[in-house]
Chains A and B, each alone.
Chain A
Amino acid sequence: MKLNEQRFLILTALAGGALHGYGLVAEIAELTDGRERPRPGALYHGLDKLTEQGLVHVDREAVVDGRLRRYYALTTEGRQRLATEANQRQTTAQLAIGRLGTV
C-alpha cells in the first residue's frame, strides 16, 4: 500500500537519524519550509502504524529534564520502502514536469 504524504515525510525525517516525537515535528516543518507540521494525533498514530508495519522501530528512550523522549528510527525495511517510494514519486514528478514543459 502506498504511503500517504505524512507517513512519507515521517520516514524522510527519520532517514537522517533517530528522532523523538517533537523532534520529528520540528524536522518535518524544516524539511518542508513550514508547509507541513504534523499534528500530534496524526504523528503518533502514524508512528504506531509504521511501527506495526515494521518500517520504524523504537530506538531508545531517554528522560530529559523529567520529560520522556522516545526515539524512533528507520528499520532496514523502512529504509528500502522509503527509497522505493521516493523513486516512484520522482518518476511521477518528472512526468508532470515534462508534460508541463510541452504545454
Chain B
Amino acid sequence: MTQNRVTRNRARIARWSCGGLGPARRAEILGHIDDAEAAGVGLSRTETLSICAMGARARTIAELPSLVAALPLALLAFVAYGYVYSEHFAPWDLMEEIPSTDPKIAALRSAAELAWVVVLPLGLYAGWRAARRVRRHAYRLAGAYVAAVLVMVGQARLFIERTEWFAQPLEPSHVDAVSPYSASMLAIAVGLPAMFIILDALFPAPAQTAPTRVDDHRSDPADPASGPDLTALLALATPGLFVVIAALWVLPFTALTWLSDSFSRRQKMTATIVAVAPLLLVLAYVVATGDPDGDGLSVIGLLLAATALQLATWLWLAGTVLRLHRTPPDRG
C-alpha cells in the first residue's frame, strides 16, 4: 500500500470516527483532518487513533442518556408482559397441568418462542435504523426505547421461566442454575450499549455542516383462582434476584447517569438514592424477618412503591434529556 493510500485511509477512518461528536466539534475536527491533508502530511497513526478515541468517547456519552431514558418504558413493559404472560400462558402451570401434547398450547408456545427470537434482533435493527436515518435525537431515543423494551420483554420471559429458582433460598446447588441467567443479563447489559456504539462506529451519520457551538451533546402472588398469578412477582422479592438486578441493571445505569453530562448533580444523587434505597430496604426486610421469600404483600407493596418511585425518577431524567436536546443549537 502506498503512503498516499495509507494517509487517505487514515483520513477516511478519522472522518468516520467523527460521527459521534457534536456538530460543531465534528466540523472542527473534519477541518483539522482536511488541513493535515492539505499540508501534504496527513494524519499519523497516533493522531488517527486519537480522533477515533475522541469519537468513541463522545458516542458513548451521547448514547447514555438515551439508554437511561429507556428504563421507564422498559420497566412498564417488564411488568405488563409478566402480567399477561402469567395470566394467559403460565408456563409452569402448562408444564404441570396441561399435557404438553396439546397442539394449541404447543403452537402458541412455539409462536411465542419464535416471535421472541425473531422480534428481538429485528426490533433492535429497526430501532437503530430509524435512529440513524432520521438523525434526530428524539428518534434516536425512540430507537433506544424499542430496543430496551424488547430486551426487557425477553428478560421478563426469562424471569418468569426461572421463578422456581428464585422462589427458593439461594443454596450452593442453585448457583449453577442461576449462572447462565446471570450471564445472559450481563451479556445484554453490556451488549446493548456496545451494540449501539459499534453500529454507530461502523455506519456513522453523515457529517453536518454549519455548526454553531463547541459541543452540543454535553448526546407481580395471591390466589391463582381469583386473578393473575402473582407468584412471579413474589419471586422478584428474593434476595438473589435483587442482587442480580442491583449488580447488572440498577447500579450500572446509576453509574451511567453519573457519567452523563446531561444531568445535574442533584438529579444524579436522586437517581442513585431512588435506585439503591429500595434494594437495601428489601434486603434489610429479609434479613430482619429471616424470610428470604418475603411474606407476600408487604414485600410486594414495597416493590410497587419502589417501582413507582423509580419510574418517576427515570421519567424526570428522560424529560431532562428531551429538554436538553430541544435546546436550539446556538443557545448557550
Taking beta carbons and an 8 Å cutoff, which residues of A are in contact with B?
A: 20-23, 26, 39-42, 44-45, 48, 51, 58, 64-70
Q: Name 14 interchain pairs, CB-CB below 8 A, sorted by A.
A: A20-B35, A23-B35, A39-B46, A39-B47, A41-B51, A45-B54, A65-B34, A66-B34, A67-B31, A68-B27, A68-B28, A68-B30, A69-B28, A70-B28
Judge whether A41 and B214 touch: CB under 8 Å. Answer: no
Number of interface residues of B (CB under 8 A): 21
Taking beta carbons and an 8 Å cutoff, which residues of B are in contact with A?
A: 25, 27-32, 34-36, 38-39, 46-47, 50-51, 53-54, 211, 214-215
B residues within 8 A CB of A64?
Answer: 31
* Cross-chain contact of B54 among A20, A40, A58 (Cβ < 8 A): A40
- Distance of B62 from chain A, by nearest CB (Å): 16
Taking each of A26, A40, A44, which has the highest tally of chain B beta carbons within 10 Å of its own beta carbon? A40
Judge whether A41 and B28 touch: CB under 8 Å. Answer: no
- Distance of B56 from chain A, by nearest CB (Å): 10
17 extra interface residue pairs, beta carbon distance < 8 Å, beyond A51-B214, A70-B31: A20-B35, A21-B29, A22-B35, A22-B39, A40-B32, A40-B50, A40-B54, A41-B53, A41-B54, A44-B25, A48-B215, A58-B214, A65-B34, A66-B34, A67-B34, A68-B31, A69-B28
A residues within 8 A CB of B47?
Answer: 39-40
Indicate whether A20 sits within 8 Å of B31 (C-beta atoms), given known contacts A44-B25, A58-B214, A65-B38: yes
Q: How far is the CA of A20 from the CA of B34 in the complex (A)?
A: 13
Judge whether A69 and B29 touch: CB under 8 Å. Answer: no
A residues within 8 A CB of B215?
Answer: 48
Q: Which residue of B lies closest to A41 (CB)?
A: B50
- Distance of A64 from chain B, by nearest CB (Å): 8
Q: Which residue of A lies closest to B215 (CB)?
A: A48
A residues within 8 A CB of B51?
Answer: 40-41
Q: Which residue of A lies closest to B43 (CB)?
A: A40
- Distance of B218 from chain A, by nearest CB (Å): 10
A residues within 8 A CB of B38?
Answer: 65, 67
Q: How far is the CA of A76 from the CA of B50 in the complex (A)?
A: 31
Q: How far is the CA of A67 from the CA of B34 in the complex (A)?
A: 7
A residues within 8 A CB of B211?
Answer: 68
Judge whether B28 and A42 touch: CB under 8 Å. Answer: no
Q: How far is the CA of A66 from the CA of B32 in the complex (A)?
A: 12
- Distance of B92 from chain A, by nearest CB (Å): 53
Indicate whether A69 sits within 8 Å of B31 (C-beta atoms), given known contacts A44-B25, A58-B214: yes
Q: How far is the CA of A23 from the CA of B38 in the complex (A)?
A: 12
Q: Which residue of A lies closest to B25 (CB)?
A: A44
- Distance of A65 from chain B, by nearest CB (Å): 7
A residues within 8 A CB of B46?
Answer: 39
Indicate whether A21 sits within 8 Å of B54 (C-beta atoms), given known contacts A39-B46, A39-B47: no
A residues within 8 A CB of B30?
Answer: 67-68
Indicate whether A42 sits within 8 Å of B214 (C-beta atoms), given known contacts A67-B34, A68-B27, A68-B30: no
